[in-house]
Structure 1
Amino acid sequence: METIQTSAGPISYTDTGGSGPTIVFLHGMLMDGSLWDDTVSALAADHRCVVPTLPMGAHQVPAHPDADLSLPGLARLVADLLAALDLHDVTLVGNDTGGALAQLVVADGAARVSRLVLASCEAFDNVPPGLTGRTLVLTGLLPPRLFGLFMTQMRIRALRRLPVAFGWLTKRGDAHTARWVRPVLRDPAIRRDATRMLRAIRADRDVLNRLAVPRLSAFDGPALVLWARGDRVMPPPHGRRLAELLPNARLVEVDDTATLIPLDQPRVFASAVADFVRTDELIG
């Protein structure tokens, strides 16, 4: 892991390096960059993969106390990170809330992003997303100490697998979800960051309809919409609508997976992204 200083505080990231096409991967709330481990392993030989862990509740180093942890604030942090690392011609990939951030980044006209991959993510009015997201955001109303006490239940696998926790997000990724809850259990500053983020999301539930949807049609770069067929948190019709809204998009629906496709079907995910980037490179 490397670290870079930003206006929000230090951000940890991995960078596989290399001269191949640059892909930046964004994770969701109460997750870290390990969401992408298997996908990156399959892509790293031919692509430069950059994976930040954003201050969204599973990070290791606290954000600055005055950092903007709203979705627009986190999207600006992503844009700042691309600039700080001097990345160009980026394929920006987002899953779960990472997809919401990716929408906001390109809607704000990020010149460094040339291709977009949205994978089973918040869209339109699905903020916070489904039963899982609404439950999590409600817990964010608790004081940070009580939020931490509530999250101690997530040490128990049976509780992590409930629909109100991670049960509808992944079929096979329980080892990752167990890891993701540890920072809020051990660090009061991470609990503070998590509750601030969750409260900001609850306070602006129309953020994507207001800031992203009206501007996505202006993104004319190639786009891939990857969606879990039968997703119970991110409605599949939203994937179809996003593919229609983006001028140069195609839709791929993935079987035998929940929302977190990189955990449940990493090889399928990596293959779809590699084909998408390769085709665009050949056309370009």
Structure 2
Amino acid sequence: MAEIELSAGTIEYLDTGGDRPVALLLHGLLMDETLWGSVVSEISDTYRCIVPTLPFGAHRRPVRRDADLSLPGVAGLVAELMQRLGLDDVTLVGNDTGGAIAQLVAADPERNGRVGTLVLVSCEAFDNLPPGLTGRTIALLGRLPAGAFKAFMQQMRLRPARRLPIAFGRLTLRGDAVTSGWVRPILTVPGIAADAVRVLRAAFADRAVLERAAGRLAAFDRPALVVWAERDRVMPPEHGRRLAALLPQARLELVADSYTLIPLDQPRRLAHLLKTGQR
């Protein structure tokens, strides 16, 4: 993992390198870059993959206390990362809350200049914030003091707890080995539990932010791909169809036998779609 100092603090990121088109892959709340591990293995012969660990509660380096951890604030951080690394014509890919961040970047003409292609993979959109039972649960947890939040998260070390509908049970069919690692920084790294509480409060403070962004997505006139899980119980498939209809150059692909976290449940299928969409 490389590191870069941005306005929010030190951000870790994976960079596969090489002289290839760039894919910047964004994960969701209480997740880290390992969401994309299997997909990166499949597409690194086509793309230079850059996968930041966003300050979303499973990061390993606490951010500054004055960091803006709202969804627009993190979107600004992603734009800052692209600028600092000198990335252009980027394929910006987001799953879960990473897709919400990708929408905010694409919808902002001051931030989307380095984006060549937008890929939204089963993510929050429109009024689905917080998303479903899982999202409503973590929004409630974000109201706890950091110490109480950390104590609650202790039970997530156990697989039966992680598989509950209020945890990762409705997000992934078969990705428990990866999700188990996402809990570790909250329990072991000083400052991460406090960051997690801050980001959960900030992420859901403005519940209309994605509805406003949707109104601007029609101006994103570059290629777009919307990939949605047919069986998604957290991100409504209808939202995938609406996003594809909003984006002028979008196509919609539905993925069978998967929940929200398609990079874990169907990485080869997603990798194929990313590679065939490469311009």
**Do both proteins adopt the same fold according to a TM-score greater than 0.5, normalized to the shorter chain?**
yes
Report whether the alignment pairs 1:229 with 2:198: no
The whole-number CA distance in structure 1 between the counterparts of 2:166 and 2:233 is 11
Aligned residue runs from structure 1 range 112-151, under 5 A: 112-151=114-153
Deviations 1:164-217 (A, max 9, x none): 00000001110111100111112341111110111112311111012x111100
What SS is found at the alignment partner of 2:252? strand
What amino acid is aligned across from residue 250 of structure 1 in structure 2?
A: R
Structure 1: runs of 5+ lacking an equivalent: none
Number of aligned residue pairs: give it.
277
Report whether the alignment pairs 1:3 with 2:3: yes
Structure 2: runs of 5+ lacking an equivalent: none
Report whether the alignment pairs 1:75 with 2:75: yes
Corresponding residue number in structure 1 for 2:273? 272
Aligned residue runs from structure 1 range 100-179, under 5 A: 100-109=100-109, 110-179=112-181
What SS is found at the alignment partner of 2:95? strand
What amino acid is aligned across from residue 273 of structure 2 in structure 1?
A: A
Corresponding residue number in structure 1 for 2:92? 92
The whole-number CA distance in structure 1 between the counterparts of 2:208 and 2:137 is 18
Deviations 1:109-161 (A, max 9, x none): 21000100000000000011110011011001000000000111101100100
The whole-number CA distance in structure 2 between the counterparts of 1:52 and 1:146 is 28
- Structure 1 position 75, deviation (Å): 0.3
What SS is found at the alignment partner of 1:238? helix
What SS is found at the alignment partner of 1:137? helix
What SS is found at the alignment partner of 1:25? strand
CA contact (8 A) 1:221 1:248 kept: yes
The whole-number CA distance in structure 1 between the counterparts of 2:125 and 2:190 is 31
The whole-number CA distance in structure 2 between the counterparts of 1:133 and 1:185 is 21
Corresponding residue number in structure 2 for 1:42? 42
Runs of 4+ aligned residues of structure 1 deviating over 3 Å after TM superposition are none
What amino acid is aligned across from residue 225 of structure 1 in structure 2?
A: V
The whole-number CA distance in structure 2 between the counterparts of 1:31 and 1:182 is 10
- Structure 1 position 46, deviation (Å): 2.0
CA contact (8 A) 1:145 1:188 kept: no
Q: What is the percent sequence identity of the aligned residues?
A: 62
CA contact (8 A) 1:25 1:36 kept: yes
Deviations 1:66-119 (A, max 9, x none): 000000000000000000100000000000000000000011121000100000
Corresponding residue number in structure 1 for 2:66? 66
Corresponding residue number in structure 1 for 2:203? 201
The whole-number CA distance in structure 2 between the counterparts of 1:214 and 1:227 is 20
Report whether the alignment pairs 1:259 with 2:260: yes
| C-alpha RMSD of matched pairs (Å) | 0.7
What SS is found at the alignment partner of 1:75? helix
The whole-number CA distance in structure 1 between the counterparts of 2:204 and 2:211 is 14
What amino acid is aligned across from residue 101 of structure 1 in structure 2?
A: I
What SS is found at the alignment partner of 1:203? coil
Corresponding residue number in structure 1 for 2:219? 218
What SS is found at the alignment partner of 1:227? strand
What amino acid is aligned across from residue 70 of structure 1 in structure 2?
A: S
What amino acid is aligned across from residue 145 of structure 1 in structure 2?
A: G
CA contact (8 A) 1:122 1:234 kept: yes
The whole-number CA distance in structure 2 between the counterparts of 1:60 and 1:17 is 22
The whole-number CA distance in structure 1 between the counterparts of 2:34 and 2:190 is 22
What amino acid is aligned across from residue 241 of structure 1 in structure 2?
A: R
